[in-house]
Structure 1
Amino acid sequence: MKKSTKIFILPLVLALLVTLAGCAKKQKSSNVYDQVKESKTITWGVKADTRLFGLMSIKTGKIEGFEVDLAKALTKQMLGKDAKAEFVQTTPKTRIPLLKNGNIDAILATMTITPDRKKQVTFSEPYFTAGQSLLVKDDSSIKNVRDLNGKTALAVKGTTAVDNVKKFAPKAKVLEYDDYGQAFTALKAGQGQAMTTDNGLLAGIASENKGYKLVGGTYTTEPYGIAVEKGQTEFADHINKALNELKKNGTYHRLLVKWFDGIPGFNIKEVENS
């Protein structure tokens, strides 16, 4: 009985030693750019529920969108044509913890660059000049945010949209909903004259709902950036370099056209000025 116990314990001890050695090796290599360069793989945290940016396809079972295509292009630009981009679904709540835990190398998920977030992560240069805009019916008389004075705007609870509307149109009434689906349903039902949030998110709604358009351009500036772990400046620098190359060679523009061209009221040139 004692002999049998020893036989089982020895492999367990060896396995534990191998695991600890592996962990120590991972901790020792603290430069993320060196890691991705060696593996020729970048694991990106992306959205899987946001039309045009990152959405799970029922047909392919894969996440598809502008940010997914941009991540693939950045990976190959940085690491070579044989490099591989891998994807992990993230949400606003999970993306930074996943980055901190090393489950992903970078976040490319409609993440607005803010002073508070800069305390937690290192951002790339902006890759999408997002800003708050308005979605209205095609026959609406509303042309810009100031036209909302005396009218009703529809927004999502907990977002900056509510305060921004009150700032630019102090006489507007704002109704708040739990999510964008509810807010758009209210717009269709005539409970308000305009829905407001980021231009990219509104473009996603307009792309699958005929009879609606974006108006007034953007009345706030809230650019999206790629986030890497705090202090990984070399990695961020290489991302910036790759992004600028994609802009110079036309790849970036082609991806914007692929996903956003033809959406009523959406201004691709405005986005490109990031």
Structure 2
Amino acid sequence: MIDRFEVRVRIKKLTTSAVLALAVGAAATGCARFPAPESPPPVAFGARPLPPGAQTDVPREPVPTSQNCDATVSLRPGAMPPPGQMPRGSTMAEILESGRLIVGLDIGSNLFSFRDPISGDIQGFDVDIARAISQAIFGDEATIEFRVLSSADRTQALADHSVDVVVKTMSITCDRLQDVSFSTPYYVAYQRILSTRNSGVTEPRQLVGKRVCAARGATSIGRIQAIVPRVRMVTTTTWADCLVMMQQGQADAVSTDDAILAGLAEQDPWVQLVGPSLGVEYYGVGIPKGQDDMVRFVNGVLEQLRSSGQWQEMYDRWLSILGPSNGPPQPVYRD
């Protein structure tokens, strides 16, 4: 049997059709990279089933906003206790006593959280944020239990306390603040469009009547529906499924944050980011409602990442494909 590493070594020997098939499979792992294409992808023959859970022609959703309620304003961090010595009765002390930090994320968001097919480790920018929180509580960045969540499951997982935090490209919005709390923003993304190189789609107005894919629960759905009212929205469980649907000719484009789209583009040389920014998204660590001490603690961890230069190191490691960084987003506190 040929292992994944050997497949990647032999990729230059494969036919164009075989490379397309490999790209579809690699979408599930979230870390394969292919060389730039010399010609458009081949036409897929025969109807293929939609990915499990995919829904077509979904209803209109509200446009997300973080401005109407000053959503990105958060609580000022207090003095950071030494790792392993959390204040008695605090949320952090309960997590310390439990023996692990339970983090909700996914493993299909290349660059942010994905499972490396060689080592099997879960890696990415969001994973490094989670590891920094674990390090601050336990003195060990690996004292974590990862729980895989879809975008649609994030809020409920926090509400029922099945996770301690969610670190999953989760945008801070006024609607979400009704149900969960957030840290200060740790990353700023811009919604754009991902299309195939031979599709002719280079800007939003060309999406009229087209099928545009997004992961269910993403804030990008309402925004693209508002910008292009006649778009045909398709939703899936994961972003990797959106890439597969594009490769199979079942979707014409994907629209969400540029950082997520860049991770998809890393997996397939026949897709590209196009068009201007359609809106700004502020990623924050999701925290159960009412745990203000945990909000302050996580904000303290993020402050350490910014001031120590570790945030920039994480960006350079995972997100340099997006170009030079303007630095971490600066916090605004309400107290």
Give the 3-state SS of the residue equivalent to 2:119 in structure 1.
coil
- Higher helix fraction: Structure 1 or Structure 2? 1
Distance 1:250 1:45, change over 3 A: same
Distance 1:256 1:75, change over 3 A: same
CA distance in 2, matches of 1:229, 1:220: 26
Counterpart mapping for 1:176-215 below 5 A: 176-179=233-236, 180=239, 183-184=242-243, 187-188=246-247, 194-215=253-274
CA RMSD of aligned residues (A): 3.4
CA distance in 2, matches of 1:56, 1:241: 28
2:64 aligns with none
- The correspondence for 2:325, drawn from 263, 269, 273, is 269
Give the 3-state SS of the residue equivalent to 1:222 in structure 2.
strand
- The correspondence for 1:233, drawn from 272, 289, 292, is 292
1:271 Cα deviation from its structure 2 partner: 8.2
CA distance in 1, matches of 2:232, 2:228: 14
Per-residue CA distance 1:196-245 (angstroms, 9 max, x = gap): 22222211210111143223453112222111121111111121121122
CA contact (8 A) 1:129 1:270 kept: no
CA contact (8 A) 1:130 1:271 kept: no
CA contact (8 A) 1:53 1:110 kept: yes
Residue 210 of structure 1 aligns with an amino acid whose one-letter code is P
TM-score (norm 2): 0.59
Whether 1:155 and 2:213 are equivalent positions in the alignment is: yes
Residue 199 of structure 1 aligns with an amino acid whose one-letter code is D
Distance 1:96 1:153, change over 3 A: closer
Distance 1:30 1:109, change over 3 A: farther
Distance 1:151 1:215, change over 3 A: same
Distance 1:212 1:111, change over 3 A: same
CA distance in 2, matches of 1:250, 1:39: 31
CA distance in 2, matches of 1:175, 1:148: 12
2:301 aligns with 242
Distance 1:97 1:30, change over 3 A: farther
Distance 1:217 1:261, change over 3 A: farther
Whether 1:167 and 2:226 are equivalent positions in the alignment is: yes
Counterpart mapping for 1:1-274 below 5 A: 31-36=90-95, 41-76=100-135, 78-79=136-137, 81-82=139-140, 84-92=142-150, 93-138=152-197, 144-145=203-204, 148=206, 152=210, 154-156=212-214, 161=220, 163-169=222-228, 173-179=230-236, 180=239, 183-184=242-243, 187-188=246-247, 194-262=253-321, 266-267=322-323, 269=325, 272-273=328-329
Distance 1:240 1:219, change over 3 A: same
1:56 Cα deviation from its structure 2 partner: 2.8
CA distance in 2, matches of 1:154, 1:83: 38
1:111 Cα deviation from its structure 2 partner: 1.8
Distance 1:255 1:181, change over 3 A: closer
| Unaligned ranges ≥5, structure 2 | 1-87, 331-335
1:108 Cα deviation from its structure 2 partner: 0.9
Per-residue CA distance 1:166-223 (angstroms, 9 max, x = gap): 53356xx523334355654564577876432222221121011114322345311222
TM-score (norm 1): 0.70
Residue 325 of structure 2 aligns with an amino acid whose one-letter code is K
CA contact (8 A) 1:46 1:87 kept: no
Give the 3-state SS of the residue equivalent to 1:223 in structure 2.
strand
CA contact (8 A) 1:43 1:87 kept: yes
| Unaligned ranges ≥5, structure 1 | 1-28
Give the 3-state SS of the residue equivalent to 1:131 in structure 2.
strand
Q: Percent identity?
A: 24
Per-residue CA distance 1:22-78 (angstroms, 9 max, x = gap): xxxxxxx863123345678533222123222222334333322221122112332x3
Q: How many residues align?
A: 239
Residue 263 of structure 2 aligns with an amino acid whose one-letter code is G
1:162 Cα deviation from its structure 2 partner: 5.0
Q: Whose radius of gyration is greater, 1 or 2?
A: 1
